A and B are shown apart, each in its own frame.
Chain A
Amino acid sequence: MPTTFPILTLITFLPAVGGLLLLLRRDEGDSETRTLAFLFSGVTFLASLPLFFGFRNDTAALQFVDVRPWIPALNIQYKVGVDGISLLLVLLTTFLMPLAVLCGWKAVERHLKAYYACLLFLETGMIGVFVSMDLILFYVFWEVMLIPMYFLIGVWGGPRRVYAAVKFFIYTMTGSLLMFAAILYLYIYLGTPDRTFDVELLVMRLRGLPFGAQMVLFLAFGLAFAIKVPVFPFHTWLPDAHVEAPTAGSVVLAGVLLKMGTYGFLRFCLPFFPDASHAVMPLVSILAVVGILYGGLMALAQEDIKKLIAYSSVSHLGYVMLGIFALNLRGIEGGLYQMLNHGLSTGALFLLIGMIYERTHTRDVKAYGGLAKAVPLYAVALMIVTLSSIGLPGLNGFVGEFLILLGAFEANWLYATLGALGLVLGAVYMLGLYQRMAFGPQPARAAAEHPLEDLTTRELCILAPILTLLFVLGLCPNVFLRTMDASVNLLLAHLAV
């Protein structure tokens, strides 16, 4: 479907342009810097809305495609496009970014220009990953994203930020370099006339790849994605990164970055290596279940709120993986839907924790209590997000988890049952967290000296859109699920061959 206006190119590079502008501007005061950053991310979001309204649900083909030759000698193209798998993820990114920019309004004081420039470069990288339809282009964006995130954690993070930043960098780099070798192998394998990095063409041309090669390549790609997700044994960078990152960093990390791993499985691993996908399905499902339970148990034991949420992310992404590797319509759509849910609700949780942290400067659960009385608006917001996170019907989390478990039962009842146990754990730690923070006695010292301020207008403005979306996604899921159907069916068709 040729389009006249390269809208995807626009929204991909607009933030980077903003970032450059910020860096090159002479110092003119902090509020201009903030406004400019917000403006760029906001305009990017507005510019991305036509994607949703102009998206055609009846086709699995790529839409809003923009193709240009880049290095013709190697068949490398600049090719961007969206389909049902990436559409909502792009929107999630553009939606979360203005909020992430807003949430650092007060808390970030050092090196503002660089901070916002990093956020905006990061946005370009993330959108780029979701829209690239050429493996080299994809790899470029995938790596480009690392550098601003490294700086975000390392410069504006907490006390152990340097350790966390380096760990994050090295973990992800290890995986992605192996993926790089695998990409080159794919290219060579195709033989001279067929060589291409075009994702759509690769899906067709890789038919009949021998099983052994499929397995090796699946593992090379899969490792990069598994580290990013993170799947159970590769998750150790996540709690560190989450805890040390500044609020905006955590929001982006939880909201978007973790989705890249699962997106990678859907976009590359499953369609490229269908036989291998079927073969590793039990292994991945087991790892996913282990992740769900392990993440849940670890979350139960945390006293640091951010760490608790970090482990809950491990658990939630376990669900996404379980859904995807059910390899059926419900599972995959549930997984995709849960990616959105997790992005929104965990993003919101990090925003809320960031807000209270700005007031109290502690993330220790024990330091809180009686928030329901002291800051009622805040407590309500936290309540909604908590319930969404544990999957209360009517809110978004329910739809995703329900679909995933349906799909997983279809595939294998054992994994599904074990996975469902995680739901109970989720309820225990999330409600426990809420109970400890919102009710119970207020710590006497804190109450007397510093009465907490309730949500400000700015904070309400940040939270309102997310909370609204939590309900919208919970109440009318079909609006969103519809967009996925065609593409997921096509994916399943590839898998069935």
Chain B
Amino acid sequence: MSPTALALVQDLRLFLPEVILVLTTLLVIVLDVTPVRKSHRALLYLTFCGLLLSGIYLLRHYVDLRESGGRASSSNVLLFGNSIALDPFAVYFKGLFLLVGLLTGVLSIRYKKLNPAGEGEYCVLLLCSTLGLFLMVGSRTLLMAYLGLELVSIPSFVLAGFQRDSRLSNEAALKYTIYGAIASGIMLYGMSLLFGLAGSLDFAAIRHALEGQTELRASPLLLSVSMLMILAGFGYKIACVPFHMWCPDVYEGAPTPITAFLSVGPKAAGFGVILRFFYQSLSTHSGGGDWTPIVDQLQWPIVLSVLSVATMTVGNLAAVAQTSLKRLMAYSSIAHAGYLLMGVVVLSKDGIFAILFYLAVYVFMNFGAFLFVVFLHDLVGSEDIEGCRGLGWRAPFPCIAMAICLFSLTGLPPLGGFIGKFYLFLGVIGRELYWLAILGVLNSVVSLVYYARVVKAMFLENIPRGEAEPLPVPFFYSAAFAVLVAPILLLGVYWAPLVKLARYSSSIFGA
């Protein structure tokens, strides 16, 4: 065996969480043609096992990393010819993705529209998508970022259209595919331009090349164009304006668990890639955890801060008029992409840390809200705000849980969402971007309007005639809501452990 091949095989040992995901996928495919498929949700439970096992190995990586470096440094492990990084940053995101995968599975357990015959496919696609997320956040080269992104996208196209007999679901799949294809086409073109300029696809090598080329720094037009084109691909993943158009329709049409998955997983991975790309190849570390754009004329933070404001404003204003819960959550997730972008533009480790922190809370808030949509559909048969009317008194616990998720999304204390926003705004004000902070704050007020509308429908409006009796809530929902809401409440009063974890994970961007 040649040394290169040997090195690749050795790298596989550090790739075990991903390998396990692949093996699980294969196992599910095989079992899907055996009688196992007939037993209810068996393949879904198998998927859980795979995700959990992968989590165990991920934890081992985390422990190893902590022990080896104490603090992460440049000696982070690079796999497969420097194309994938195994650093605390990636491990943190991967942990989130496993959580997202698990929760998506949990939401699917009682999701009625899910055809039992397609369960195997569903699990396979979900696992593939999760694998794609893993690759995205680990990527150290543009090529790997692109591969990961496509591995997330293509299964998601199918998942969005999983209810073959539903017109909305088909529409969602088609829109998602067309938008996705165009966005990744533009991104690829941008990447090829950048490759032509820098002569490499490696993030670090790109920076090195850009630092050296004086004539390029003098006229960065081509560089700007390629950056904007690449941004189109990433922006599509995080659903920021102006690449957000697909979002409401896809969220509405896709099966609800998949909507929840899309609203958190690809968004988080998108931020992971954006952070790596913009910081590692378009910025230089100016000490103390602060960064500066590598080319003075290429002020990408300004571009992104304008996008950030536009995203949150469009998302929040459009959400106010929605009647469907899923569309409302779609616009809310657009708005959140805007808030999170604030953390990117501050160019400091505090901003990155704030994003990591917020994303962890965001997983719970969003999945809580989507669990409520599943619950509503399961028991009331509606996915609209109208269907929540008076439900607060008929099924108090799920509605209180939903209210907590929504208030947390608004950023009210003492909930986790408040702490997340606290760190985001602290980062923004710390960098003296007062206008951004003020606009962000005003946007939070707007968001209160529509989140409160749902709460209003649940508790303040009268119960429709003839539906006054209490709704028996299956144990599954009570347990699931409790599991999702507990961290939101806990992180609102005691969040130091998560701070520690997120700080450590963002330490690759300067301690």
| A476 CB within 8 Å of chain B | no
CA distance A450 to B198 in the complex (A): 91
Chain B residues whose CB sits within 8 angstroms of the CB of A200 once the complex forms: none
| A140 CB within 8 Å of chain B | yes
Interface hits, A147-194 → B, CB 8 Å? 147, 150-151, 154-155, 161-162, 165-166, 169-170, 173-174, 177-178, 180-181, 184-185, 187-188
Asked if B499 and A185 sit within 8 Å, CB to CB, the answer is no
CA distance A305 to B232 in the complex (A): 60
Asked if B459 and A155 sit within 8 Å, CB to CB, the answer is yes
Asked if B456 and A154 sit within 8 Å, CB to CB, the answer is yes
Contact of B445 among A72, A146, A150, A177 (CB under 8 A): A177
Interface hits, B258-281 → A, CB 8 Å? none
CA distance A443 to B303 in the complex (A): 71
Residues of chain A at interface, number, CB under 8 A: 32
Interface hits, B441-480 → A, CB 8 Å? 441-442, 444-445, 448-449, 452, 456, 459-461
Contact of B461 among A71, A73, A114, A162 (CB under 8 A): A162
Contact of B456 among A136, A162, A173, A187 (CB under 8 A): A162
Asked if B441 and A73 sit within 8 Å, CB to CB, the answer is no
Interface hits, A108-141 → B, CB 8 Å? 111, 114, 136, 139-140
Asked if A71 and B412 sit within 8 Å, CB to CB, the answer is no
Asked if A177 and B393 sit within 8 Å, CB to CB, the answer is no
Closest to B413 in A: A140
Asked if B412 and A147 sit within 8 Å, CB to CB, the answer is yes
Asked if B499 and A73 sit within 8 Å, CB to CB, the answer is yes
User: How many Å from the CB of B353 to the closest CB on chain A?
Assistant: 11
Interface hits, B118-139 → A, CB 8 Å? none
| A459 CB within 8 Å of chain B | no
A181-B460 contact in complex given A71-B495, A71-B499, A143-B413, C-beta closer than 8 Å:
no
Chain B residues whose CB sits within 8 angstroms of the CB of A136 once the complex forms: 422
| A144 CB within 8 Å of chain B | yes
Q: Which of A154, A155, A170, A177 has the most CB of B within 10 A?
A: A177
User: How many Å from the CB of A159 to the closest CB on chain B?
Assistant: 12
Chain B residues whose CB sits within 8 angstroms of the CB of A147 once the complex forms: 407, 412
| B426 CB within 8 Å of chain A | yes
User: How many Å from the CB of A113 to the closest CB on chain B?
Assistant: 9
Contact of A155 among B407, B452, B460, B495 (CB under 8 A): B460
| B429 CB within 8 Å of chain A | yes
Beta-carbon contacts of A64-92 to B below 8 Å, as 1s and 0s? 00000001110000000000000000000
Closest to B430 in A: A188
Chain A residues whose CB sits within 8 angstroms of the CB of B372 once the complex forms: none
Asked if B460 and A177 sit within 8 Å, CB to CB, the answer is no
- Contacts A/B (CB < 8 Å), 29 sampled: A71-B495, A71-B496, A71-B499, A73-B499, A111-B393, A114-B396, A136-B422, A139-B413, A140-B413, A143-B418, A146-B412, A147-B407, A147-B412, A151-B459, A151-B460, A155-B459, A162-B456, A162-B460, A162-B461, A165-B460, A169-B452, A170-B452, A173-B445, A178-B441, A181-B437, A184-B426, A184-B429, A185-B434, A188-B429
User: How many Å from the CB of A265 to the closest CB on chain B?
Assistant: 21
Beta-carbon contacts of B406-432 to A below 8 Å, as 1s and 0s? 010000111000100010011001100
A181-B414 contact in complex given A155-B460, A161-B460, A170-B445, C-beta closer than 8 Å:
no
CA distance A162 to B434 in the complex (A): 34
Chain A residues whose CB sits within 8 angstroms of the CB of B444 once the complex forms: 177
Asked if A166 and B412 sit within 8 Å, CB to CB, the answer is no
| B438 CB within 8 Å of chain A | yes
CA distance A180 to B418 in the complex (A): 11
Q: Please name the 10 residue pairs, one residue from A and one from B, whose CB atoms are nearest each other, closest first.
A: A154-B460, A140-B413, A177-B441, A184-B429, A174-B445, A143-B413, A188-B430, A181-B441, A162-B460, A140-B414
Asked if B461 and A185 sit within 8 Å, CB to CB, the answer is no
Beta-carbon contacts of B364-397 to A below 8 Å, as 1s and 0s? 0000000000000000000000000000010010
User: How many Å from the CB of A466 to the closest CB on chain B?
Assistant: 31
Give the dominant DSSP class at B's interface. helix
CA distance A373 to B384 in the complex (A): 55
User: How many Å from the CB of B106 to the closest CB on chain A?
Assistant: 25
User: How many Å from the CB of B433 to the closest CB on chain A?
Assistant: 11
Chain B residues whose CB sits within 8 angstroms of the CB of A170 once the complex forms: 445, 448-449, 452
CA distance A184 to B437 in the complex (A): 10
A154-B459 contact in complex given A180-B441, A181-B425, A185-B429, C-beta closer than 8 Å:
yes
Contact of B412 among A111, A143, A178, A187 (CB under 8 A): A143
User: How many Å from the CB of A403 to the closest CB on chain B?
Assistant: 36
Chain B residues whose CB sits within 8 angstroms of the CB of A139 once the complex forms: 413
Chain A residues whose CB sits within 8 angstroms of the CB of B437 once the complex forms: 181, 184
User: How many Å from the CB of A437 to the closest CB on chain B?
Assistant: 32
Chain B residues whose CB sits within 8 angstroms of the CB of A178 once the complex forms: 438, 441
A144-B445 contact in complex given A161-B460, A162-B461, C-beta closer than 8 Å:
no
CA distance A438 to B418 in the complex (A): 51
CA distance A173 to B437 in the complex (A): 16
Asked if A181 and B429 sit within 8 Å, CB to CB, the answer is yes
Asked if A173 and B413 sit within 8 Å, CB to CB, the answer is no
Closest to B444 in A: A177
CA distance A147 to B410 in the complex (A): 12
CA distance A474 to B412 in the complex (A): 41
User: How many Å from the CB of B427 to the closest CB on chain A?
Assistant: 10
CA distance A342 to B413 in the complex (A): 29
Contact of A166 among B393, B414, B434, B452 (CB under 8 A): B452
Q: Which of B418, B429, B434, B495 has the most CB of A within 10 A?
A: B429
User: How many Å from the CB of A490 to the closest CB on chain B?
Assistant: 29
Interface hits, A196-229 → B, CB 8 Å? none
Chain A residues whose CB sits within 8 angstroms of the CB of B449 once the complex forms: 166, 170
Chain A residues whose CB sits within 8 angstroms of the CB of B413 once the complex forms: 139-140, 143-144
Beta-carbon contacts of A96-116 to B below 8 Å, as 1s and 0s? 000000000000000100100
Chain B residues whose CB sits within 8 angstroms of the CB of A151 once the complex forms: 459-460
CA distance A161 to B426 in the complex (A): 36
User: How many Å from the CB of A167 to the closest CB on chain B?
Assistant: 11
Contact of A180 among B414, B425, B452 (CB under 8 A): B425
CA distance A165 to B460 in the complex (A): 9
Chain A residues whose CB sits within 8 angstroms of the CB of B460 once the complex forms: 151, 154-155, 161-162, 165
